[in-house]
Chains A and B, each alone.
Chain A
Amino acid sequence: MTTTIVSEPLPATRPRRGVVWWSPFCCLGLVLLVGVFAPLLANDVPLLARVDGKWSMPAVADLFGEAPAGPHDGTWKQWWSRLGAGNEDFGIMPPWPYGPTAIDAARFGQKPCLAHPLGNDDTGRDVLARLVHGAGTVVWLGLPAVLLAALVGAALGAWAGLAGGLVDGIVLRLIELSLCFPMLLFLLFAAAFFGTSPFGMVAVLALMFWTSFARIVRGEMLSLRERDYVLVARGLGLGPWRIFARHLLPQVRTHVLMTAAFCMAAAIVAESTLSYLGVGGGGGAVASWGAMLRQGSERAVVGSWHLWLFPALAVMVVVVACHLVADRLRPRVDA
């Protein structure tokens, strides 16, 4: 037997920087964009409309709040289908002209077809439109929670690592304390009683995640502050804030991003788990992947495979993309 097994430093299992390397980043970016602009992408109100000589943008209004009611005592969809030649009125519909809550009574639980490639659910709502709007939870719940946790966690971690002594002790104790909290119960509580506004859940998620950021940043700061170049910078008379901002902070950027990717995955899983259990309003989103999946799994026995398959794929793809992003950033962290 030869002894070639164990000489590589760390396995080169990751692909080179090409399309494959960047694909999870692109996937995540795309999901975030879709989540932000969902009302412009899949909606049953026009992007741009001219009714009786007046221009308006109902879908944009939907993006910032509530879409205005349709013209002539009907819905926008009815108005749009009546548009024809010789009419002064004019409208551009979004690329996917179905809303997440629009009910199509003729298509209860229909299987996928050309007009609706992902089918309709039991109340006739278009599954694709609901999936697109479900991406909103990633943006409006996951992103604020992760950002808040990163900000608080990195700041406290850096302070603890650089100041040492009493501050370090207190922050470490705080981390330990947060780890012991029954976060899932708090999350359940926040979702059940503050479900329609995302603030409660964002707060609990941030409380869950800040420890990861604090621990990794603190660990890095402990080793960074002893490096020669930092000593040189200090010797040159640079102020502590300048050293921190110019010489220490850039060094932990990748660590923070990697942790953020992990936390994002955890946030998505947490939200969809809760909406799967039927708790809360999905952080205020119109549609939630977890709730869709629950509905789908209940209908699976009667053969509606499209109702559980597509939301399940959506959750899986986004979560795996988050983990891959973290994995791609890791070699730089380990080095």
Chain B
Amino acid sequence: MRRWLLLRLLWCVLTLFGITFVTFVVMDLAPVDRAEREVTQATQDGTLPDTLLREAAVLRLRVRYGMVDPETKLPRPLWQRYAAWLSNAAVLQLAGPDADNAAFWRRLGEAAPVTLLLGGLSLLCVFGLGVGIGCWLGVAAGSKRDRVASGVLLTLVGMPEFLLATLLPLVFGSLWLHWLPTSGLRSPGANEWSFAWQLVDFARHLVLPVLVMAIGPTVMVARFVRDSVARAAAAPFVTNLHALGIEPEVVRWRLLRHGLAPVATLAGNLLPMLVGGSIVVENLFSLDGLGHLAFDAVMQQDQAIVMALVLVTSIVTLLSLLVSDLLHRVVDPRVRLQP
């Protein structure tokens, strides 16, 4: 067990190096580099009137972003920049020079709670509802209830997040019912309300984003659990228990534990799905979370912020995979842990 954990953690560290390196290379593949793009933008906006200054401005930005050597003014090779990034990341200086770095941590501090709240509520919904519905259908596999509900779930699978994010606000928000707000987290002027009303307002703003984010994974988990429980229900040991005259209720509980074992593995895959979902949802409901931050950073080719977010999310993903493996082992003792 200890050896397994040690090997596993070592592998996690190696994976982290792999992920950050590949992301670094990918960010470098863009046809135009960030400094040049920003200067072009500034020229178009008129904030950089003199085209003669262009070369100097590009060079200055390149030095700032660490693309060229500050002394010799020569472009630095990829491996040198990656090594520089690594040594900065080791001391948590994730976003370039000091001022930029402080600003980045401030933004991260503002964005992270929003995403954590959304993700946490969605996870609750996914596991509560998804596992519940899955069990409810799985123990009655083949019945009318199962057939109807499975059909509905299959249709919902075909609903991509962005489709839900279009339809639900239309129905509940701006077009027909006018029940729920469709953007932001607080109503304008909410600061003057009493605390309880502010809380209600906040909760109302959260309903649609959480719903949009949770429906896809919930349906996936429900379908998975249903199949797994149905398969467990068809196992010989269940027939045996029935033949022994055990109460059907008791048998059903036995079978649930059996059928729920693979869910632990699923938990590890859910996190990347939710991270992806947060990019879509935060963009459409204009919430300032990590997903929005990541989207803006990729669009602006901000290598530092993208790298920082990739580092954070991959650490969380790797840890959750580790935990899900351990959980699987706890739920199903037959599983052996292999490095």
Asked if B87 is an interface residue, CB under 8 A from chain A, the answer is no
With known contacts A3-B242, A182-B313, A193-B31, A188–B295 Cβ distance under 8 A: yes
Distance (whole angstroms) from the CB of B328 to the closest CB of chain A: 15
Residues of A within 8 A of B234 (CB): 6-10
Asked if A81 is an interface residue, CB under 8 A from chain B, the answer is no
**What is the size, in residues, of chain A's interface with B at 8 Å between Cβ atoms?**
50
A-B contact count (CB 8 A): 143
Stretch at the interface among A37-45, A246-254, A311-319: A311-319
Q: For chain B, residues 127 to 151, give those with C-beta under 8 angstroms from any C-beta of chain A.
A: 139-142, 146-147, 150
Distance (whole angstroms) from the CB of B12 to the closest CB of chain A: 9
**In the complex, A272 Cα to B280 Cα: how many Å?**
12
**Contact across chains for B163 and A300 when beta carbons are under 8 A apart:** no
**In the complex, A3 Cα to B242 Cα: how many Å?**
7
Q: For chain A, residues 276 to 335, give those with C-beta under 8 angstroms from any C-beta of chain B.
A: 276-277, 279, 290, 293, 296-297, 300-301, 308, 312, 315-317, 319-320, 323-324, 327
**In the complex, A132 Cα to B271 Cα: how many Å?**
35
Stretch at the interface among B43-51, B94-102, B153-161, B207-215: B153-161
Cβ 8 A contact of A177, one of B18, B30, B157, B294: B18
Residues of B within 8 A of A192 (CB): 298-299
Distance (whole angstroms) from the CB of A186 to the closest CB of chain B: 6
Q: For chain B, give the interface size range.
A: 35 or more
Of A5, A6, A9, chain B has the most CB atoms within 10 Å of the CB of A6
Distance (whole angstroms) from the CB of A261 to the closest CB of chain B: 12
Stretch at the interface among B21-29, B187-195, B198-206: B21-29
**Contact across chains for B275 and A316 when beta carbons are under 8 A apart:** no
**Contact across chains for A181 and B22 when beta carbons are under 8 A apart:** yes
**Contact across chains for B280 and A269 when beta carbons are under 8 A apart:** no
**Contact across chains for A273 and B31 when beta carbons are under 8 A apart:** no
Instruction: Closest A residue to B137 by CB, please name it.
Output: A11
**Contact across chains for B160 and A11 when beta carbons are under 8 A apart:** no
Asked if A173 is an interface residue, CB under 8 A from chain B, the answer is yes
Residues of A within 8 A of B81 (CB): none
**In the complex, A317 Cα to B19 Cα: how many Å?**
36
The secondary structure that dominates the A interface is helix
With known contacts A273-B280, A315-B160, A180–B175 Cβ distance under 8 A: no
Asked if A106 is an interface residue, CB under 8 A from chain B, the answer is no
Residues of A within 8 A of B310 (CB): 182, 185
List residues of A whose CB falls within 8 A of some B CB: 1, 3, 5-13, 173, 176-177, 179-186, 188-189, 192-194, 265, 269, 272-273, 276-277, 279, 290, 293, 296-297, 300-301, 308, 312, 315-317, 319-320, 323-324, 327
> Would you list 11 pairs from A and B whose C-beta atoms are within 8 A, ordered by A residue?
A6-B239, A11-B147, A181-B23, A183-B276, A273-B160, A273-B162, A273-B280, A297-B166, A312-B166, A316-B158, A320-B154
